[in-house]
Amino acid sequence: MAFFEVKDIYKNFGANRVLKGIDLQLDEGQVLAIIGSSGSGKTTLLRCINFLEIPDKADIYLSGENIFSVDNLDEINKALQDLDKSQTQISAADIAKEDSQADLTNSKENGSDIVDTTDKKQQKQKSKPVNISKEKKKQIAEQRLKFGMVFQSFNLFPHYSVQKNLTLAAKLKYDKSIKSIDKYFSKTVRLARKQAFKEIDERAVALLQRVGLGEKLKAYPCELSGGQQQRVAIARALILQPEILCFDEPTSALDPELTREVLKVIKDLKNDGHTMIVVTHEMEFARKVADKVIFMADGVIEEQGSPEEVFGNPQSPKTKAFLQESEKSIDED
């Protein structure tokens, strides 16, 4: 069985079917690149994979264990049939407000990461909440920690040093766990906490060195370039020791030189054996670094295979058209 497997993911936003039955597999240590035009469902798929969005239907397996299973699709589709589309349309201001609220929520849930909302440009209708219990929500929160996320907007806390930006989520996670054991913080627990925090700080130093920023431990985000901030964001995702690293267009806000900096870090992580899923518009990265490539269009996987297969001998007309357009854009630049 594959290290990571997704079966039959569906996701609706109002009457808009964004994901229409996605299946994918990934072996341990592999890099999967997801490519496709804006609005194809790439970001929504990534958000569903790590539970920032709850799929309407899906089975997700990690190391052979079913870590998530839900099937509300029939109920949701029935409700959608009764919707008056004119009543479900929301204004641009409503979308902006909803995106802002979603970003704030996801920031709290993911150690301050601000989530990209690219796919929400096409999601003009509100998502019907998936009906899950409080216990299920707790399980989802625990499973989410198995996925490290790096987004377009690194959005580090400006008033915290690089070190505190890195260690904050890990220390909060530890405090949450020990409070459930001993909310009064006995002497034994306090000593264990002190040692755990020391180890987290040491891990932060090692991770910064790993991404080439060992000298920036005490710096503040305003003192860093965009590429350096994104590398800090990568280190922040790594500090929780996730089983899979997920990247959503990690270089879209960077110029070519800074893009090369960040992509080099991702290549180094691959060489270290990290399993990664990368939504990207960088075709050269997908071609040369990824082990598998998925091309998405209209909420489905139009084509998938090795980089040689997808780029060298695409079978789908949509894939061919997308790659031709990508090459044209590169030539024009």
10-residue mean pLDDT series, the chain (333 residues): 94 92 97 95 95 92 92 70 44 44 44 43 55 77 90 87 94 80 71 93 96 95 94 94 95 91 94 96 94 97 97 95 84 57
Contact 292, 280 (CB under 8 A): no
In tens, the pLDDT along 28-65 reads 999 999 999 999 999 999 999 999 999 999 999 999 99
| Residues 6+ away with beta carbon under 8 Å from 181 | 189
Domains located in the chain, CATH noted: 4-146+244-332 (3.40.50.300), 157-242 (3.40.50.300)
Count of helix runs (H) and strand runs (E) in the chain: 12, 10
Instruction: State the Cα–Cα distance between residues 151 and 193, nearest whole angstrom.
Output: 30
Long-range CB pairs of 258-265 (<8 Å, 24+ gap) are 258/225, 258/226, 258/227, 258/230, 259/227, 261/212, 261/227, 261/228, 261/231, 262/227, 262/230, 262/231, 262/234, 263/289, 265/211, 265/212, 265/231, 265/234
> Residue 189: its pLDDT value, please?
83
Q: Which residue has the tokens 């998938």?
A: 304
> Residue 111: its pLDDT value, please?
43
In tens, the pLDDT along 76-100 reads 666 666 654 433 333 444 434 444 4
Q: What is the pTM of this model?
A: 0.81
- Both tokens of residue 70? 């839900």
> Residue 33: its pLDDT value, please?
97
| Secondary structure (DSSP) of 155-172 | ---TTS-HHHHHHHHHHH
